[in-house]
Structure 1
Amino acid sequence: MINKRRLTVKDIVYVGVLAAMCAMATSLKIPFGVGAMVHLGTAFLFTVGICFGGVYAGLAGAIGSAFYDLLMGFSPYTVWSFVIKGTAGLLVGLIAKGLWPAPIACNAGNTWVWRALLGCVVAAAWTLGGYIVAWWQITGSLATAFANIPSSLMTSGVGLVGAMILSPKLRKNVNRLT
């Protein structure tokens, strides 16, 4: 029999706080290209996935990114961001940590680093593909969509580096929370 876990009030509070922090991190941006930006939201999303797992990262990424788009005038991207960033968070968290937050074994070694890197790369590829389709559909121009590829790759690269710097220290503190 499969042991199913349900969201608790504690989970909902964590997801709400993480979603708000995701929206705030996304607001730290450098505009680049047509409708594209390099921001710290991806670094935050990757870090949450590595530290908390797929459910938290998926929900925080979906809600936080969509909320940011809605509030900051990118409303055509709201639904796209909800799906793309939510799935990206789920992917990085699932690969790097699993579905749910769980204490990390002290003798886990450095295998988490390879899982975290793989999760970030898979999530970055998903995000790139998803936003190419989103940009194409919203702008009506495939050329514009392809022109935004460098900014997506730069954002994911910054996100990967940022997550790999922050995650080792934060993972230890997450053990105390879960």
Structure 2
Amino acid sequence: MKRSICLLCLSALGIALTFIASLIRIPIPSIRWYFHLGDTIIFIVSLLFGPIAGAVSGAIGSSLADLQAGLAVWIPFSLVIKGFEGLVVGWISQGHEGKKDLVALFIGSLLMIGGYAIATIILFGWPVLIYEIPVDVIQCVVAIILSLFIVRSIRKRFPIISKLKGCIEWKNQI
């Protein structure tokens, strides 16, 4: 029961932060596109609290942000892509306390870029990839840099965070 409450609270925090960060959109005027910091939060939650909290916050937080922004067509894609992104990043990094963070973030970024490339082709056709992929790459590079910096700072200043992750390890949730 204690583990379930811990996971629920951390996931709710992740959902709220992902939602807010995804709604703060940074426009790229020349192509009328934008990027946001939602992936940064998904990465932080996944690295600090593991795959379940990362998947839940990525899937639900991003989907709610799409709904709020009036982008309902993206909701099913965000649900799957961002959820899987959080799951994979948390799973790869789990139990390695910083040693595999960069690898996990790189693989998670590739999944996000590839997932949204497929979604873009389904929704709008392949020519739109010329706009989608560069923006997603920028978003992932920024997310990787920020999340590594933030996670390392949190782990250094608040070592108790590592103990929180222990209450929701992946093996305990299966």
* TM-score class, shorter: 0.7 to 0.9
Q: Give 3-state SS (helix, strand or coil) of 1:148's partner.
A: helix
Partner of 1:63 in structure 2? Answer: 60
Residue 97 of structure 1: CA displacement? 1.9
User: What are the residue-to-residue correspondences of 1:1-178 with 2, within 5 Å?
Assistant: 8-32=4-28, 36-97=33-94, 112-139=97-124, 141-171=125-155, 172-177=159-164, 178=167
Which sections of structure 2, spanning at least 5 residues, go unmatched?
Answer: 168-174
Alpha-carbon distance between aligned partners in 2 of 1:134 and 1:73, rounded to the nearest angstrom: 17
Provide structure 1 residue ranges, at least 5 long, that are not aligned to the other structure: 99-110
Distance 1:63 1:165 in 2: 25
Which amino acid is 1:174 matched to? I
Distance 1:35 1:114 in 2: 38
TM-score, normalization by structure 1: 0.82
Question: How many equivalent residue pairs?
Answer: 161
Report if aligned partners of 1:34, 1:144 keep a CA contact under 8 Å in 2. Answer: no
Q: How far has the Cα of 1:35 moved from its partner?
A: 7.5
Pair 11,143 (structure 1): closer, same or farther in 2 beyond 3 Å: same
Q: Using the TM superposition, give the Cα deviation of residue 114 of structure 1 relative to its aligned residue in structure 2, in angstroms.
A: 4.0
Aligned equivalents of 2:84, 2:77: Cα separation in 1 = 11
Q: Against the structure 1 CA distance between its residues 36 and 89, is the aligned structure 2 distance closer, same or farther, given a 3 Å change threshold?
A: farther
**How far did 1:143 drift?**
0.8
Contact map agreement 1:37 1:155 (CA 8 A) in 2: no
For the residues of structure 2 that align with 1:126 and 1:80, how far apart are their CA atoms?
Answer: 12
CA 1:51/1:94 → structure 2, altered by over 3 Å: closer, same or farther? same
Instruction: Give TM-score, length-normalised by structure 2.
Output: 0.84
Q: Structure 1 residues 95 and 46 mapped into 2: Cα distance closer, same or farther (>3 Å)?
A: same
Give distance in 2, aligned partners of 1:133 and 1:6: 39
* Corresponding position of 1:101: none
* Distance of 1:68 and 1:7 partners within structure 2: 28
Give the CA deviation at 1:34.
6.4
Q: Amino acid of the residue matched to residue 150 of structure 1?
A: P
Identity %: 25
1:38 is paired with a residue of what secondary structure?
Answer: strand
Segments of 4+ moved more than 3 angstroms: 32-36, 111-114
**Could you say if the C-alpha distance between residues 35 and 112 of structure 1 is closer, same or farther in structure 2, counting changes exceeding 3 Å?**
farther
* Higher share in helix: 2
Q: In 2, Cα distance between the equivalents of 1:89 and 1:114?
A: 17
